[in-house]
Amino acid sequence: MGALRLVLGDQLSDGLSALSDIRDGDVILMAEVAEEATYVRHHKQKIVLVLAAMRAFAECLRTSGHTVRYVTLDDAANSGSIAGEVRRAVKDLESDRLIRTRCGEWRLEEALNALANTLDVPVETREDDRFICSADRFRDWASDRRQLRMEYFYREMRRDTGLLMDGDQPEGGAWNYDVENRKKLPAEQAIPPRKRFPPDASTKEVMALVGDRFADHFGDLDGFDWPVTREQAGEALDHFIDDILPGFGDWQDAMANGEAFLWHSLVSTSLNLGLLDPLEICQRAEQAYRNGSAPLNAVEGFIRQILGWREFVRGVYWLKVPEYRKRNALDADRSLPWFYWSGETDMACVADVVEQTRTHAYAHHIQRLMVTGNLAMLLGVHPDEVDDWYMVVFADAYEWVEMPNTRGMATYADGGIVGSKPYAASGAYIDRMSDYCAGCAYDVKEKTGEKACPFNRLYWGFLERNRKVLRDNPRLAMPYRTLDKWPEERRAALVDEAEACRKALGATVRA
């Protein structure tokens, strides 16, 4: 008899609140369950990542002297769900209480709250304190604001943590150096090689299991090389800080055909599992600036992603869920075109993003936002289908971070909670930030007709179609002023042009 302490697949942190006061007689429960791999049909590499990291973490716990009940996916008695495994463990071990850390996703949190009402033992649910800003702190910050804007939240977090501060002023005199972080990659610019982590014997075992059980899930398995232990995640971080971070700022928004990683940190997979700590990463980046090995635009830009965006979207998610999951401000009603899965499209930018996503379960932020996200918004794809795709295809996907990015930032389905305007853009943006258009079957200079870049064909029709919701947005005043100067027939023709493009790309009205 002792406490049962639950550790979920994305709670692989030594300092997890559910483990903080562990004592002799307590048992840690970790369970590989089919439900977590199939509630959305995750990329095969995501499943391998989580299960391989869980096995490695369980081994560390055992080495530190803890008792771990570890249920494998192929255990004949496995009930298939976390709730089922908790119930089974409480009964088998005659545990006197359950101690757990709040889940990252609302879905599982609800399921475990429902379970608590039916268990015969008390359940203690502890906060997940592996974030820089607690849920309460965020709620406080948000409570007296009409609009939630990341930039103001970020400044407050800078003050709270002292990161990149010079007394009470921002280091260098500005809070944000984004204007310096929008350079296109010159053709001759060498791209640095990245440290990757080929699978060891234990990970290969998981790969065989996943290849067998989830053969029909999206994505390649063979090239799996993500860090799965805290040590590997630490090595990857060292490599990023020492060799890559100096170029992070300049090329943050750049895209290059066939180049998945560029100067991005690749820390999200480890960070979201709990193998790395967000504050520690920010402090390491700041140190690189203070000792002169990385410039301010790179370090500020990088810290803002973690201290600002990551903490902000997590706060928004827990503030607005579950209502947020239903938002569809633009009444998007189309289905997701098949090429999002197959990659079979003449659009060079989309084909490259889908291909590298299949290979690595990764695409960098601008690819997610301005290629696949922008296109889904311009096409009017229903947010449920957009969410499903983003949750499936990326190794770092968890609803708390995926949904505010997808339903908020990328598609404006939340009606402006996360972003102050839709990030809608024509092909000119992609042309400016990448080398995709030079090798594309479509013409980025053409605005209409079958040969024209689909982003161009869709852009004005999108604005006209969504006039009622977007016309009064001050940040869209300029394009609407342009539209308003055009006669009604021309505006109607733009809607027809967009409709023809939606049809040509297979964005049909959902059944």
Residue 36 found at the interface with ligand DLZ (CB under 6 A): yes
Whether residue 371 contacts residue 379, with contact meaning beta carbons closer than 8 Å, is answered with: no
Residue 429 interacts with ligand FAD (CB under 6 A): yes or no: no
CA distance 301 to 175: 10
Q: Can you give the three-state secondary structure of 442-471, one letter per residue? A: CECCCCCCCCECHHHHHHHHHHHHCHHHHC
Footprint of ligand FAD on 7-66 (CB under 6 A): none
- Given the DSSP bridges, would you call strands 169-170 and 165-166 parallel, antiparallel or unpaired? antiparallel
Question: What is the H or E stretch that residue 403 is in?
Answer: helix 399-403
Give which of ligand FAD, ligand SF4, ligand DLZ, none residue 104 binds (C-beta under 5 to 8 Å, depending on kind): ligand DLZ
Q: Which is nearer to ligand SF4, 348 or 391 (CB)?
A: 348
Tell me the closest approach of the beta carbon of residue 66 to ligand SF4, in angstroms.
51
- What are the helix (H) ranges across 321-398? 339-342, 348-360, 365-366, 374-379, 383-393
Considering only residues 243 through 272, tell me which ones interact with ligand FAD, judged by CB under 6 A. 264-268, 271-272
| 337 lies in the site for ligand SF4, by CB under 6 A | no
Choose the contact partner of 454 out of ligand FAD, ligand DLZ, ligand SF4, none; CB within 5 to 8 A by kind: ligand SF4
Closest CA to 231 of 453, 388, 439, 56: 56
Burial pattern 446-485, b for ≥16 Cβ within 10 A else e, equals: ebbeeebbbbbbbbbbbbbbbeeebeeeeebeeebeebee
Q: Residue 47's binding partner, choosing from ligand SF4, ligand DLZ, ligand FAD, none, with beta-carbon cut-off 5 to 8 A by kind?
A: ligand DLZ
Task: Examine residue 226 and tell whether it contacts ligand DLZ (CB under 6 A).
Answer: no
- The span from the CA of 320 to the CA of 325, in Å, is 9
Q: Does residue 104 interact with ligand DLZ by CB under 6 A?
A: yes
By CB under 6 A, residue 436 contacts ligand SF4: yes
* Structure token digits, residue 87: 């119930």
| Options 70, 175, 214, 455; binder of ligand SF4; rule CB under 6 A | 455
Using rule CB under 6 A, residue 427 touches ligand SF4: yes
Which residues between 349 and 408 bind ligand DLZ (CB under 6 A)?
Answer: 398
**Only segment of 116-124, 151-159, 262-270, 449-457 that touches ligand SF4 (CB under 6 A):** 449-457
Asked if 282 touches ligand FAD (CB under 6 A), the answer is no
State the Cα–Cα distance between residues 396 and 323, nearest whole angstrom.
23
* The two three-digit tokens of residue 429, written as one number: 């943006």
Chain residues binding ligand DLZ by CB under 6 A are 8-10, 31-33, 36-37, 42, 47, 50, 82, 103-105, 108, 398
